């Protein structure tokens, strides 16, 4: 073999090595991106679980106060309000749709959800998202399906 042939083969081998290095670096970067996405998903799950525990505690406290009001209050209006509150809690816990859920479902389907909810306070966003989640869950039950919350519904948690 001539020197030129050897040099050409060497250049070709070096180019192949650089290409392989670049592909390996890209694959490593994709792996890191996927690992970061997985960690964010784990963090969202942990945050959601912590929120659920806190909310469950709050619901139990409200339920206890309503029970105390029903048992000990002489005010008819207070007792009726406590009963209404317990009914609302039971409906939400059972996943029953509430008045207005369908309207929020329509906004989710046909409106600019991200823009609309970006104009809200955090409690307003959560209320609207809860309504859409109940509405979606009700549709899933009608369809005989089991599906989770719509993707991107609570976009502010992912940010």
**Through-space distance between the first and last CA atoms of the chain, rounded to whole angstroms:** 61
Cβ proximity of 153 and 108 under 8 Å: yes
Per-residue pLDDT in tens (0 to 9) along the chain, 159 residues: 788 888 888 888 888 888 888 889 899 999 898 888 888 877 877 887 788 788 888 888 999 999 999 999 999 999 999 999 998 888 777 766 777 888 999 999 899 999 999 999 999 999 999 999 988 988 888 888 888 889 899 999 886
What pTM was estimated for this model as a whole?
0.47
């Amino acid at each position: 073999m001539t020197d030129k042939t050897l040099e050409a083969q060497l250049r070709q081998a070096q180019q192949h090595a650089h290409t392989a290095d670049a592909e390996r670096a890209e694959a490593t970067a994709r792996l890191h991106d996927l690992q970061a996405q997985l960690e964010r998903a784990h963090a969202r799950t942990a945050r959601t679980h912590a929120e659920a525990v806190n909310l469950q505690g709050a619901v139990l406290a409200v339920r206890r106060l309503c029970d105390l009001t029903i048992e000990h209050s002489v005010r008819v209006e207070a007792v009726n309000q406590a009963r209404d509150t317990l009914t609302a809690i039971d409906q939400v816990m059972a996943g029953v749709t509430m008045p207005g859920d369908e309207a929020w479902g329509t906004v989710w389907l046909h409106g600019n959800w991200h823009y609309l909810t970006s104009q809200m306070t955090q409690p307003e966003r959560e209320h609207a998202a809860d309504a859409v989640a109940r509405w979606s869950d009700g549709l899933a039950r009608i369809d005989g399906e089991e599906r989770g919350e719509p993707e991107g519904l609570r976009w502010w948690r992912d940010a």
